[in-house]
């Protein structure tokens, strides 16, 4: 499947990877616009096709008192404002069939969370909106099995589908990336590597997910070398105080340097 089947992801430099990036969750309008403005300035300079990412709500949380959102409609309107202000497509997670229809009115790409990617009704509901569908590979699933998730979208008369690898469970409290999965899944759809979620350390006794942000560049570099079409990274100007997934986010200050290195690697790979 060719990337040109996903018209929302465009750029004159078609040989580059594309980027899905932003905060884990929409915490407010000012923070979303601030993060988007910085990423747009960097990706424009580096000619990286860019999609702003932000969850309008967080349905999968370790503890009942964890932050879940600022209100569905409010967050979705912020996503729309980001898109209109910076002229970039947006992506958000959905968790129910009703979410699919609602979010499709505001964003360009509907993302199926890894824990929900086997929920047929949810995948089909997303596909039937006509939006691009981003299927996150379940931490418990093989790369080969994602072909069936892709088929659920294409059988729903929607060819705009991509797959995101976000690591595989390793024991109870760690994730690993099997880079063999990238070329495997590229047989079915464009493939994105979710760098930051692949470095989570879930199921901590505190009920707050940990992470290894020091390994972000290592995993991202490997993803580019092994042929990922896109890179997914959550970023924030203050990860320590982010309301969700701060432990494995990239600090916004480090984004430009990292992306510059990844573009250089991609150019080298393209020459091979």
Number of H helices, E strands in the chain: 8, 13
Interaxial angle between packed helices 29-46 and 72-86, expressed in degrees from 0 to 180 and rounded to the nearest 10 = 30
- Alpha carbons within 13 angstroms on the beta-carbon side of residue 48 total 30
pLDDT of residue 8: 59
Is the Cβ–Cβ distance between 200 and 210 less than 8 Å?
Answer: yes
For 16-66, the pLDDT digits (tens) are 999 999 999 999 999 999 999 999 999 999 999 999 999 999 887 667 777
Tell me how far apart the alpha carbons of residues 59 and 152 are, in angstroms, rounded to a whole number: 23
For 201-236, the pLDDT digits (tens) are 876 555 556 678 899 999 999 999 999 999 999 999
Sign of CA dihedral 217, 221, 223, 224: positive
Q: Does position 11 have pLDDT exceeding 90, yes or no?
A: no
Cβ neighbour number for residue 101 with a 10 Å cutoff: 15
Region 154-161 average pLDDT: 96
For 254-271, the pLDDT digits (tens) are 999 999 999 999 999 999
pLDDT of residue 1: 37
Is the Cβ–Cβ distance between 47 and 12 less than 8 Å?
Answer: yes
Q: Does position 138 have pLDDT exceeding 80, yes or no?
A: yes
For 193-207, the pLDDT digits (tens) are 999 999 988 765 555
Q: List Cα–Cα distances, 2 to 59, 174, 186, 226, in angstroms.
A: 32, 33, 10, 17
User: What rounded mean pLDDT belongs to the chain?
Assistant: 91
Q: Which is higher by pLDDT, 152 or 271?
A: 152
* Residue where the block lists tokens 């350390």: 201
For 64-118, the pLDDT digits (tens) are 777 888 999 999 999 999 999 999 999 999 999 999 999 999 999 999 999 999 9
Please give the helix or strand (H or E) that residue 163 lies within, else none: strand 161-165
The verdict on pTM exceeding 0.85 is yes
Q: Does position 252 have pLDDT exceeding 80, yes or no?
A: yes
pLDDT of residue 201: 80
Angle in degrees, CA 161, 165, 169, rounded to 5 = 140
């Amino acid at each position: 499947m060719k990337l040109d089947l996903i018209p929302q992801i465009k750029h004159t430099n078609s040989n580059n990877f594309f980027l899905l990036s932003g905060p884990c969750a929409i915490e407010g309008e000012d923070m979303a616009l601030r993060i988007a403005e910085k990423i747009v300035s960097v990706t424009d300079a580096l000619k990286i096709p860019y999609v702003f990412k932000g969850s309008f709500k967080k349905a999968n949380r370790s503890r009942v008192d964890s932050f879940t959102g600022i209100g569905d409609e409010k967050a979705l309107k912020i996503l729309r404002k980001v898109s209109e202000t910076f002229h970039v497509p947006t992506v958000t997670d959905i968790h129910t069939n009703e979410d699919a229809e609602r979010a499709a009115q505001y964003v360009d790409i509907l993302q199926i969370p890894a824990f929900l990617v086997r929920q047929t009704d949810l995948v089909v509901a997303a596909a039937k909106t006509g939006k691009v569908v981003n299927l996150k590979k379940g931490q418990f699933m093989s790369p080969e099995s994602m072909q069936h998730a892709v088929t659920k979208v294409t059988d729903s008369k929607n060819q705009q589908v991509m797959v995101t690898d976000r690591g595989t469970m390793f024991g109870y409290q760690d994730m690993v990336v099997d880079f063999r999965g990238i070329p495997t899944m590229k047989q079915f759809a464009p493939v994105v590597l979710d760098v930051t979620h692949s470095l989570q350390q879930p199921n901590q006794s505190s009920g707050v997910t940990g992470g290894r942000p020091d390994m972000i560049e290592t995993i991202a570099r490997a993803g580019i070398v092994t042929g990922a079409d896109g890179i997914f990274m959550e970023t924030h100007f203050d990860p320590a105080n982010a309301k969700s997934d701060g432990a494995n986010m990239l600090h916004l200050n480090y984004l430009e340097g990292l992306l510059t290195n990844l573009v250089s690697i991609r150019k080298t790979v393209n020459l091979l």
